Structure 1
Amino acid sequence: MTNKIYPCLWFDGQAQAAAKFYCSIFPNSKITADNQMVVTFELDGKKFMGLNGGPHFKFTEAISFVVNCETQEEIDHYWTKLTADGGEESNCGWLKDKYGISWQIVPTVLPKLLSNPDKAQKVVEAYMKMKKFDIQTLENA
């Protein structure tokens, strides 16, 4: 794996715990290097770095990670795991995990549904009422 560009996530002493947490959720994931200051890991084959930088900076919704899901089972899996132990649900498929990182858990069918001019408005109205996406409800809109 040779990602030239990859995210570095700034933690307050929790980089190793966060890396283990994320690796337990996503397939094809592993910790590749670890020391007291920096941990590098792969999530579904994509490189990430966790830095124990201290309390100076916090995560905000200005940056989020999108997880495209083919099935409702995938959506349910990621939603449940990422909101566990203190994570927070938000609207329209967004959530924050227990470390404060924002995620968007999105069905892959959504762009297709939104591109249908006869259904787009009803799909938007349906998902604006949701926290976790429900594929069947979106398709029925």
Structure 2
Amino acid sequence: MQKITPFLWYDNNAEEAMDLYTSIFKNSSIRNKRYYGKGGPGPEGQLMTAIFTIEGHDFMVLNGGPMFKFTEAFSLFVLCDTQDEIDEKWDKLIANGGKPSQCGWLKDKFGLSWQIVPRVLNDILGDPDPVKARRGMEAMMKMGKLNIKELEDARDGKSN
């Protein structure tokens, strides 16, 4: 296990969340499940904690109850190489109750925030020409799901 591991607190649906995340991302697995016993504090037989891995990164989950909720102050940042990858991850993460936001951000149905971002965004926003960088930023600020072609066209001053 890596030295520092994100720990995600769910009310009672950590197992469902892990199943979703590992179905979306390649090179993922669920391991080390532990369940509540007769002594609680959760319902006997319910998942207590587990570790899952996505693309070589470990995450730990807990079904800890309704006391704490996710906020946008923590998000998972996903770099995507193609528009198809952006579309696939975005659509699967907002399915069944997720909520799109702006600038590539979304919340999945469990309330966890994600940023689904094209790998080229850093180059677009960091273009050495400040006019091009500004146009890229302005285009991004108007988007929910990010669109690579529209970002590149905006940077390059091409009209849509």
For the criterion TM > 0.5, the same-fold answer is yes
Alignment of 1:81-96 (within 5 A): 81-96=92-107
Highest Rg: 1 or 2?
2
Q: TM-score, normalised by structure 2?
A: 0.85
Find the residue that maps to 1:42 and give its secondary structure: strand
- Aligned-pair CA distance for 1:16: 1.0
- Aligned-pair CA distance for 1:12: 0.6
Matching residue within 88, 93, 113 for 1:102: 113
Q: What does residue 6 of structure 2 align with?
A: 7
Percent sequence identity over aligned pairs: 54
Please identify runs of 4+ aligned residues in structure 1 that moved more than 3 A. none
Q: What does residue 43 of structure 1 align with?
A: 54
Write out per-residue CA displacement over residues 30-53 of structure 1, whole angstroms, 9 at most, x where no aligned residue: 101112210111011210111011
Write the distance in 2 (CA, Å) between the matches of 1:7 and 1:20. Answer: 17
Write the distance in 1 (CA, Å) between the matches of 2:113 and 2:34. Answer: 25
Write the distance in 1 (CA, Å) between the matches of 2:70 and 2:104. Answer: 18
Write the distance in 1 (CA, Å) between the matches of 2:143 and 2:115. Answer: 13
Deviates more, 1:31-40 or 1:98-107: 31-40
Alignment of 1:91-130 (within 5 A): 91-116=102-127, 117-130=130-143
AA of the residue aligned to 1:127: M
AA of the residue aligned to 2:85: E
1:30 equivalent to 2:29? Answer yes
Write the distance in 2 (CA, Å) between the matches of 1:33 and 1:76. Answer: 31
AA of the residue aligned to 1:93: G
Write the distance in 1 (CA, Å) between the matches of 2:17 and 2:125. Answer: 34
Superposition RMSD in Å: 0.8
Write the distance in 1 (CA, Å) between the matches of 2:66 and 2:131. Answer: 49
Find the residue that maps to 1:5 and give its secondary structure: coil
Q: TM-score, normalised by structure 1?
A: 0.96
The total of aligned residue pairs comes to 140
AA of the residue aligned to 1:118: V
